[in-house]
Amino acid sequence: MKQSEELARRRTFAIISHPDAGKTTLTEKFLLYGGAIQVAGAVKSNKIKKTATSDFMEIERQRGISVATSVMTFEYNETLINLLDTPGHKDFAEDTYRTLTAVDSVILVIDSVKGVETQTERLMEVCRMRRTPVIIFINKMDLEGRDPFDLLDELEKKLSINVQPLSWPVNKGSEFKGVYNLFDKTLQLFQPEKQTIEKDRIEISELKDPLLDEIIPRDAGQLREDAQLLSGVYPEFDIQDYLAANIAPVFFGSARNNFGVKELLDTFIRIAPTPQSRETDKRIIHPEEDAFSGFVFKIHANIDPKHRNRIAFVRIVSGKFERNKYIFHCRLKKELKFSSPATFLASARNIIEEAFPGDVIGLYDTGNFKIGDSLSEGEVLQFRGIPNFSPEIFKELINRDPMKTKQLEKGIEQLTEEGVAQLFYQQHGNKKVVGVVGDLQFEVIQYRLKNEYGASCEFVPKDIHKACWVTSSDKQKLEEFIRFKSQNVYHDKDDHLVFLAPSEWLLKVTKEANPEITFHTTSEFKTEKVEV
């Protein structure tokens, strides 16, 4: 198959949502349609009855939440889908932000009962910043939730994006019957089927059909009225507006009962973008180029604790990746060869011979990779848009078992390289400060250090308002700043200088007193545009 054909059949996207909106359940229904799994795990009251396919870390199974991005590759209707299931919990948002650099589009799941929530708004800010096309799936229509028209209004108001419904629910709550596909002008009515894909489907080509009155006598009139109102309010759907991230198509359904999921998936593979170009510090790399290139957006240590392995997740941007072929590591400026590159279905791995733009592959790593590393066939370049943002909570790492100091050092280094947290250290002295987005991350780190490395630790809160990366063209001024602010100047994992400001007021005063110093809000200085 030619590379152009491989590109045309690929879709790489992430599913994002506020916690408990039904993201993992929707993911599993997609996998059912693709034949990748046979039975989905039922999620009830935040307790996973059968462990969700996309959750494979032990702590995820215990807590019933996703704390790391899972990568799943499967085929559906001759389309190769690379699906990245992201953590919904706000405490792991930074992992989600980085994942959005590796995808070409997004499906955002909304709870019809709760509507737009805080985490949803923040995720959409990142999508807007990157101009990422978004499809919205309003889930849990089988519950007594909000009015669909009210939900559409709230989406536009709170997410600052124009929406356009491409499906419409037939009633809601206990009377929810199915969905009318506004895109294809067809109606599908289902029987609730929680564990497998639906078996009985009734299709009606147009709403005028009298059969509609026989099948849903109490809802037929309202459906016709709603469809007519929608056609008057919303213009005809324009795919280019969606691809340009100007509008967000909206679908309604129930992932748990599999209502509306097929309509979403079928439309998605028709309209979602194929692999897109990416910006580097030298030029824009296009997927059609012959030369291989890609970047590391996630690292996971101990994906199999028995073998202490470390996997770097790579998004392929251009060319073709081939097993056992040398590739160039741009930061280290050396060639590497990989004998066991893999694609994933959560924790299950398949060794591959080749991969193409849009694919997400795993490379077994012995410590060569960091998040943001670029790979090529020899061209020295750095892909942009994979920065670290300032954490929100800072705590000092205290070793509680001096006999396991080496294990702790190795463990915290590897875990922070995964991107679950950021590590700041002082060159003089052994003080280490860990910064995270939310408190739950400390619990995860502590658990993994104990269970994966045998190291015991505790975290002591620090009065730190913000982390700012500092640079200056005046070497002397920078040295003076470091000397006078030695208590608050640290280094990050890449040995960049970071000022850990104790308070918002002190940060303001420090900036005013040091005009020669530039304070950056992300670790990616040259392309810093928006603070998240």
Considering the domain architecture, whether residues 154 and 196 belong to the same structural domain is answered as yes
Residue 82 lies in a domain: yes
Q: How far apart (Å, rounded) are the C-alpha atoms in residues 111 and 517?
A: 45
Given this model, what pLDDT does residue 93 score?
58
| Strand extents, DSSP E, 201-274 | 202-204, 247-252
Number of domains in the chain: 3
What is the CATH classification number for the domain harbouring 405? 3.30.70.3280
Q: How far apart (Å, rounded) are the C-alpha atoms in residues 193 and 200?
A: 10
> Which of 271, 292, 327 is the last residue before a domain boundary?
271
Q: Which residues pair with 136 in a beta bridge?
A: 108, 250
Considering the domain architecture, whether residues 227 and 284 belong to the same structural domain is answered as no
Residue 527 lies in a domain: no
Considering the domain architecture, whether residues 354 and 441 belong to the same structural domain is answered as no
Question: What tokens appear for 107 in the block?
Answer: 């499906």
Residue 526 lies in a domain: no
Residue 525 lies in a domain: no
Considering the domain architecture, whether residues 451 and 513 belong to the same structural domain is answered as yes
Given this model, what pLDDT does residue 526 score?
47
Q: CA of 445: how far to CAs of 91, 166, 261, 393, 420, in Å?
A: 12, 42, 35, 14, 8
Sequence-distant (≥ 6) Cβ neighbours of residue 513 within 8 angstroms: none
Q: CA of 495: how far to CAs of 257, 426, 498, in Å?
A: 50, 10, 9
Token look-up 């080496």 returns 406
> Which of 241, 271, 301 is the last residue before a domain boundary?
271
Considering the domain architecture, whether residues 162 and 200 belong to the same structural domain is answered as yes
Q: Which domain holds residue 301?
A: 278-376
Considering the domain architecture, whether residues 297 and 152 belong to the same structural domain is answered as no
Burial class (CB in 10 A: 0-12, 13-18, 19+), 84: buried
Other Cβ atoms within 10 Å of 158 Cβ, number: 15
Residue 54 lies in a domain: yes
Considering the domain architecture, whether residues 148 and 31 belong to the same structural domain is answered as yes
Burial class (CB in 10 A: 0-12, 13-18, 19+), 7: middle
Sequence-distant (≥ 6) Cβ neighbours of residue 408 within 8 angstroms: 397, 399, 401, 449, 453, 455, 456, 457
Other Cβ atoms within 10 Å of 379 Cβ, number: 15
327-363: pLDDT as tens digits: 999 999 999 999 999 887 755 678 999 999 999 999 9
Question: What tokens appear for 282 in the block?
Answer: 């030298």
Q: How far is CA 133 from the centre of its chain?
A: 14
Residue 447 lies in a domain: yes
Considering the domain architecture, whether residues 267 and 291 belong to the same structural domain is answered as no
Considering the domain architecture, whether residues 118 and 216 belong to the same structural domain is answered as yes
Considering the domain architecture, whether residues 194 and 295 belong to the same structural domain is answered as no
Q: How far apart (Å, rounded) are the C-alpha atoms in residues 122 and 108?
A: 12
Considering the domain architecture, whether residues 74 and 158 belong to the same structural domain is answered as yes
Residue 386 lies in a domain: no
Given this model, what pLDDT does residue 339 score?
93
Question: What tokens appear for 118 in the block?
Answer: 């805080």
Residue 369 lies in a domain: yes
Considering the domain architecture, whether residues 421 and 351 belong to the same structural domain is answered as no
> Which of 224, 246, 271 is the last residue before a domain boundary?
271
CB 61 within 8 Å of CB 48: yes
What is the CATH classification number for the domain harbouring 354? 3.40.50.300
Predicted confidence pLDDT, tens digits, the chain (532 residues): 688 899 999 999 999 888 888 888 999 899 888 887 766 553 333 333 344 544 445 544 554 444 345 788 899 999 999 998 876 545 445 677 778 889 999 999 999 999 998 878 888 888 888 899 999 999 999 999 899 999 999 999 999 999 999 999 999 998 888 888 888 888 877 665 544 455 456 667 778 888 888 888 999 999 999 999 998 899 889 999 999 999 999 999 999 888 889 889 999 999 999 999 999 999 999 999 999 999 998 888 765 555 556 789 999 999 999 999 999 999 999 999 999 998 877 556 789 999 999 999 999 888 888 888 999 999 999 998 776 778 889 999 999 999 999 999 989 988 887 777 899 999 776 799 999 877 888 988 999 899 889 999 999 999 999 999 999 999 999 999 999 999 999 999 888 999 999 999 999 999 999 999 999 988 776 444 433 3
